[in-house]
Amino acid sequence: MKRLFLLLIMLLSLLFAPAVLAESGCEQEGHRALCSAPGICEACGFTGDIAQLLHSWGTPETTDPTCAAEGALLYSCQECEETKTTLLPKLPHTEVTDEAVEPTCTETGLSQGSHCSICNEVILPQEVIPAWGHNEVTDEAVEPTCTETGLSQGSHCSICSEVILPQELIPAWGHNEVTDEAVEPTCTETGLSQGIHCSICSEVILPQEVIPARGHNEVTDEAVEPTCTETGLSQGIHCSICNEVILPQEVIPAWGHNEVTDEAVEPTCTETGLSQGSHCSICNEVILPQ
């Protein structure tokens, strides 16, 4: 395109170039005036109404246009020192996009813009977009336990996750040991060994082990023979450790006396007698004294 434009300028210059008058014999062939001395024949010095020659423009010196400045065609006359300049219009910008920059919580952003990639002229300025600022969210405190650490309350930004108030580590409490007293086993019930647990979290530190029941230690309760007046007891069994009755002794009724008559003895002249009496034939207890 640029070359076609320059070629057109040269063709126009040739079309309007004046015809060259004869080199000699002014009166026979006509006067000739140079563009540098209009109205004066350069051959004979005649002064008068002489058709002035147009400038004979040569090939121009070209200054290429850019998007920042116009170009120019500088012509110099081949017959004199006259020059002329034809301006060439600026070239259009080569527009490139300046990408938008998203703002953050702490840094400003930029709107989309554009500039020329050749001359760097700003075509659409980028506007500053204010920083958003943090959106603060609370990080809840975590209570420590006997075995695990806790955290103090903190905060962070829900957009960029930046920590605003750090959560501090709270040490674990550690167990508060309490003794679980041993339970002595009995004859019928199991016992427990001594153990330990935490009074805060109830975690078992030393488990209590089950101790088996001892079982009864059986002892025979001897039977008691009844008498005529006293009851007796059957044989029984009890535990010598806990005294629990395993086999109860049953009451055996008293036999009651087996009364036998003691015959009266008639007194004599010299010996005393006895009245009739009675006694038990089993235990010999006197029931009716003589």
pLDDT at 213: 96
What Rg value do the Cα atoms of the chain yield, rounded?
Answer: 72
pLDDT at 30: 67
* Residue 107: pLDDT over 80: yes
pLDDT at 33: 67
Token pair for residue 70? Answer: 């116009």
User: pLDDT band for position 261 (50/70/90)?
Assistant: very high
Answer whether 0.75 is exceeded by the pTM. no
Q: 149-165, pLDDT tens digit by residue?
A: 999 999 999 999 999 99
Q: What dihedral angle (degrees, nearest 10) is formed by the CA atoms of 265, 268, 273, 275?
A: 60
Q: Which of 9-23, 179-193, 256-270 has the lowest mean pLDDT?
A: 9-23
* Residue 265: pLDDT over 50: yes
Percent over 90 (pLDDT), the chain? 74
* Residue 70: pLDDT over 90: yes
pLDDT at 49: 74
Q: 11-41, pLDDT tens digit by residue?
A: 444 344 333 333 334 543 567 667 766 777 7
pLDDT at 46: 74
* Residue 88: pLDDT over 50: yes
Query: How confident is the model over 70-84, as a mean pLDDT?
Result: 89
User: pLDDT band for position 168 (50/70/90)?
Assistant: very high
Q: Is 246:239 a contact under the CB 8 Å cutoff?
A: yes
